[in-house]
Structure formats: C-alpha cells, structure tokens
Amino acid sequence: RQVDLQMARNEGRVFEGFLLKRGATNTLSWKRRWFVAYASGKLYYYKEKDERDKIGSIRLIDAGIRPAEDTAPENSFYVSTVDRIWHFQASSNEDADSWMSCLRSIAEATPANGNMERAEVRVCVCV
C-alpha cells in the first residue's frame, strides 16, 4: 500500500502491506502478517495492521531478494539474510514484483554500517 509521503519522511517508512510468511520451523504453515519496510534497512512485521508491538524484524542490509522457483506457490519470493531464507507470498504477481523492487531498493541503498547520511531509498507504491 502506498505510504503517505510526509509520514515516510518523518518515520522512514517506505512500503507496507500484508504478505503471507512461511514458518521457519513449520514450513507448511503460512501466516498472514502486516509488514512495514523502513529506509533504515529493517522490515518489521505485526499480526495486524493497527498493532503497535512488532512480532519480528528482518535486517535487509545485504539481503538477497529473488522470485521463488516454479514449484513454489504463485506470487511468492525469497529474502535471503545471513540468518535465514524468508519465504513470502503476495496476493498478486504485481504485488510480489512491487515488494521485491522495494526491498531490493532498500537492501542496495542501505550501507552495511547503517550510516544513512548518503543512502537514497525511493518510496515505493503497491497498486
């Protein structure tokens, strides 16, 4: 979903919306979560859109983002970090492409040392 530009400037939010997240240990389990990507290189997730307490986070710095292989569920993609390979499913191909584009933009623009002075991340829009 499109993030209000003023809010994005104030909080560093770049992109947000619902995705299905595959479980780390129970790989048959897919849970619907609200995700918020920040220009600082973090992707936080919550049980619901209006919740304030995050239930997890993913460090996007140096992460690899790629579409899932043909045998994976439709509209799915991977985010590979040093700790884990995350598997997500979007509601449509367009949504998945938008998420991958935004997450790549953040991963590539965020310096490994976390210094955001010179990093540039575009605000992404999910249609």
- In the chain, the N- to C-terminal Cα span, in Å, equals 7
Q: How far apart are CA 62 and CA 108, in angstroms?
A: 7
Q: How far apart are CA 122 and CA 2, in angstroms?
A: 12
Q: pLDDT (tens digit, 9 = 90+) per residue, 18-49?
A: 999 998 877 788 999 999 999 889 999 999 99
pLDDT at 77: 97
Region for residue 41 given its phi and psi (left: phi exceeds 0; alpha: psi -120 to 50; beta: otherwise): left
CA distances from residue 111 to 15, 24, 40, 59, 105 in whole angstroms, order as listed? 19, 27, 9, 12, 12
On the question of pLDDT at 113 being above 70, the answer is no
Element (H, E) at 9: helix 5-11
* pTM of the full structure: 0.79
